[in-house]
A = this chain, B = another copy of it.
């Protein structure tokens, strides 16, 4: 597999690129996409870069019925010296295969996946916006395509990579968000699919997200499915708290998505000699820390926002206000360091950056 060649068919006419100030998240797509097919008789075959185009499937294709699918999300950044940076892409490819395993989808050769990703981004280099905070979002995904209504793993799949130029997450500077603690709906539970990046986790979360955004909150804080006592994650970010000078984040317990940003934050904190622990965290303990004045900061960590300071948690019975709705120093330092590394403005002591050549 390692030497499999990726063929390329280029578009005849390129699309007009959206103006930088019109960029949103996930609304515009580039001229080309990567596609590779799978059949149990052949394995993964025909890796190819082709013009961005619709996917045509039988209405009985299993993805429409039983949701056997996984996806990933990462970004490419253009630096001031016009280099293209990917941030830890091998981590996304590894997680893709861990998700595949849980969802009974055949493993994808990681070298090939990484190469596909790099070749596609390179071809679309002029699509990477260069205004501050902008980037090219990369969305690899796998869908089950066999036309069959039996509940069983599909015998056919498509692995696709699409690219979307995205605007800055913080248009007016990094700003704390309000988060609502979710008490009714559950995102995931150990033994379920929470650890995998798969469609069903997101479909099931929409109802909670809708409820809170109607009430003015940015995202929900998910509690554990068993006791609804322990903190899991925030919308599509992992969550961190700084209490009494120490940083804690929920331990990976089988229902939390293991974020690449989460892992990077932990490594950075260790590098800075700031104490950091991965533990089971009761919401109650956060309330106690709030009351005794030791809750210093809270923030989310994920590819989209990088670091998202949290200014307020709305619980059923009380509201926790953090750092007077101001961005904390640690959140700011992490944001500046991570984005600095991503955009090549500061040194990368961890070899996180993969530069496209």
Contact = CB atoms under 8 A, between A and B. Distances in A.
Nearest to A35: B59
A45 interface: no
A240 interface: no
Given A64-B69, A153-B206, A191 B199 contact: no
B202 A193 contact: no
A56 to B, nearest CB: 5
Contacts of A147: 29
Interface in A37-72: 52-61, 63-69, 71
A21 to B, nearest CB: 18
Nearest to A53: B59
Contacts of A229: none
A149 B26 contact: yes
Contacts of A56: 54-56
Interface string A208-224: 01100000000000000
A184 interface: yes
Given A139-B149, A199-B66, A57 B59 contact: no
Contacts of A164: 60, 149
B204 A200 contact: yes
B65 A225 contact: no
